[in-house]
Structure 1
Amino acid sequence: MPILQLIVSRLYQHVLELKLWLLGSLICAYLLISWVLFALAGESGLTDSPLTFIYFAATTASTVGYGDLSPETEAGRMVAAFWFFPGALLIFSAVLGRLTGVLVEGVRRMADGNGNFERVQNATVIVGYRRDRTPLMVENLIAGQDGDDKIILLADSKNVEVPEGVRLIRAERMDALQSLRRAAIPGAQKVLVYAGSDAETFNTCLAIRELNETVHVAAYFEDRDTARRAGRLAGIEPVVSNSCEALVRAAQDPGAGQILMALSTAGLGATIYSAVIETEGTTGGNGGATETAFLEKALSGAEGTLIAVSQPDDAAFLFRPFPKTLKSGGSFYYLASARLSESQILAGLEGSDVRVSV
């Protein structure tokens, strides 16, 4: 008896929750019984073809009622009136309600940050949330014109004001691998880490490297030694606050503080951008290298100004006077009112064997 009560209780619970298996079973049983009843009533026009019967059931259940198929016998009309019409409406309403519930639940989970974007590719992921900083970060990402059309925010804060167009993932820990997977780290294009502390930022950077060995990661640190250590061990680009230096520069040279702020903010005038140059052959007489003078001329023709370069075998930034040549794989940094495209830069470069990654 207890076993029977348990079965009845479970079945009753599934009926209340309208489980998909139960709904599917009811639909199949209802269609089978209906087909038998119409067949016994002599409605061969409805029952001879399974596709015809399904079409009739669908148009009836959805209340479309095209009128091209209908019972022709008295018995068939009685079956339709007292069995098929009421049952079809009930089942159609149940299916519609179930689908609506699933969609609403999915949207609610996404809005609450409980979704999963693991299959999203080439996204820009922001790890960490600062109410006074994150919206500005999103604004600058979009203004930077670097393909940041899919932005995912991984946050552990309960009160998150998600900027428009940003997808939210909520987690207890920033460095949890499962949370980072849900935030599309394995297929991310770039990652920005701005966690609550240097220790959490450091651990998060290491966890990101476990999931994606090649993605470019920029992380903010308060401590310079921790930033340097993270850059070396996790292979990321650490960023340390230069507020002290900016304050001194602003005091010594009035206006310098505003200039430094403008140079780092997209959309407020000339901004610093970077690109990588790749040379397969010879440009300007140097095998596998590009004449810096040609590069400077090309940028100038596109309303840009070359400010620094770095060679692929040396992480140091080289300012004017620039080296004579920039080796293949080297990076160059320029000022412009907007990010220059590859074609804009190549238009002023001599040699068809040069490619630029912007």
Structure 2
Amino acid sequence: MLLYRVRRLLASLFIQANVTTILVAVAGYVFISFWLLKIAGEADIVAGENFFYWLVVTASTVGYGDLSPESSEGKIVVAAWVIPVGLSLFAMVVTRIGFAISEFVHRGKKGLRMTKHIDHTVIIGWNGTRTLRLIELLLSKTNGSAAEIVLCVEADIENPMPGKIDFVRVESFSHGEGMQRAGLADAARIIIDNPLDDVTLTTALFCDKLSPNSHKTAYFQDENVGELLRSHCPNIECIPSVAVEMLAKSSLDPGSARLHRQLLDSTYGMNQYSIEYRGEKPLPVEGLFDHFKRDLSATLIAVRRKGMVKIDVNPGLADLITEGDMLYYISAKRLDEKSCFDIKSNEEGVGTCLPS
């Protein structure tokens, strides 16, 4: 009974102890065991090449039997100290390691762990199935991107897609210490999608300050709020709700809603993608259009000039594409940079032009 109470007390203290205390306790046990066995005259056991091996197999009750105490004093030391105390320490160390692993996994599910990614995508906000669908689209293989995704929420939920994304839960989207766990400063893309536009606005302003070099997009139900953000942060791409426009378009041109949905859905069929031209020599739209269609089974549909907000849909064949321009095309999958711009032209001064 006394030994049972002592073990319970030791277990309670051990679970609450820090790593330093645990190491001190284990070191004390090893030293006392060595000292008692040496006094008992167990020379074979305390030999440098035997002691730690014997102590581990004895304390863990494996007991191979190749080494054992021979003197009466040695047997008493083993029975009264080495086995009961060692077994308790061994069990508690294993338990503590199990607790540590469980806590690590639990913190990850609860979103309390620091993420360590570079050039990843951060999604800020939780909208249930809408957010899950967004993640599904970002993870689609046709996008050709293997960037990690970190979901950052205020809601009291656990990671909805463990093993596929990382998860961070914060008290506020403008709380610096909490948001740092999502790795905003090192993110390549930040998507802000909250049910409340005012939260989206303040979150976007905070992200623009903390992560100025990332590409940021924010969804607004009220387009006026989006315009307000754009006036302060022109580099943030504001996505307005197009429900009314789509309703009108579909009534005049039946099937428009399904067409636009398919172009945006990267999980099947032809989709819309973009790519930036980084070559030094200008390329003709006519040559690019023909190259995309004939060689890549894709269709060039629009161009956004460097530094411009307006997009030129259906550009003229005589137009030239220069460094920094963004091309938009329809294809079954995202195309790599080399295949997009590896074209040949018979026009003087324009040849095969690959990004430098």
Question: Aligned letter for 2:324?
Answer: G
Question: Aligned letter for 2:287?
Answer: F
Question: Aligned letter for 2:302?
Answer: A
Contact 2:144 2:333 in 1 (8 A): no
Show the counterpart of 2:46.
47
CA RMSD of aligned residues (A): 2.6
Deviations 1:71-129 (A, max 9, x none): 45554344333321222211110101111112112222221222221x22232111001
* Equivalent-residue separation in structure 2 for 1:347 and 1:246 (angstroms): 37
Report whether the alignment pairs 1:29 with 2:28: yes
* Equivalent-residue separation in structure 1 for 2:95 and 2:208 (angstroms): 44
> In the comparison of the two structures, how many residue pairs are matched?
337
Deviates more, 1:230-239 or 1:302-311: 230-239
Question: Aligned letter for 2:181?
Answer: R
Contact 2:119 2:147 in 1 (8 A): no
Q: How many Å apart are 1:333 and its aligned residue?
A: 0.5
Show the counterpart of 1:140.
137
Match for 2:289 among 296, 299, 312? 296
Show the counterpart of 1:314.
308
Contact 2:216 2:237 in 1 (8 A): yes
* Equivalent-residue separation in structure 2 for 1:326 and 1:244 (angstroms): 34
TM-score, L = length of structure 2: 0.85
Show the counterpart of 2:263.
263
Show the counterpart of 2:219.
220
Deviates more, 1:232-241 or 1:313-322: 313-322
Identity rate, percent: 26
Q: How many Å apart are 1:215 and its aligned residue?
A: 0.8
Show the counterpart of 1:247.
247
Match for 2:329 among 330, 334, 348? 334
Contact 1:305 1:335 in 2 (8 A): yes
* Equivalent-residue separation in structure 2 for 1:219 and 1:20 (angstroms): 44
Show the counterpart of 1:3.
none
Q: How many Å apart are 1:295 and its aligned residue?
A: 2.3
Show the counterpart of 2:320.
325
Show the counterpart of 2:108.
110
Show the counterpart of 2:154.
156
Q: How many Å apart are 1:278 and its aligned residue?
A: 0.6
* Equivalent-residue separation in structure 2 for 1:196 and 1:324 (angstroms): 42
* Equivalent-residue separation in structure 1 for 2:59 and 2:320 (angstroms): 75
Question: Aligned letter for 1:168?
Answer: F
Match for 1:87 among 75, 85, 88? 85
Report whether the alignment pairs 1:130 with 2:127: yes
Q: Indicate the SS of the match to 2:53.
A: helix
Show the counterpart of 1:286.
none
Contact 1:175 1:200 in 2 (8 A): no
* Equivalent-residue separation in structure 2 for 1:24 and 1:245 (angstroms): 67
* Equivalent-residue separation in structure 1 for 2:279 and 2:330 (angstroms): 22
Q: How many Å apart are 1:348 and its aligned residue?
A: 4.2
TM-score, L = length of structure 1: 0.85
Show the counterpart of 1:169.
168
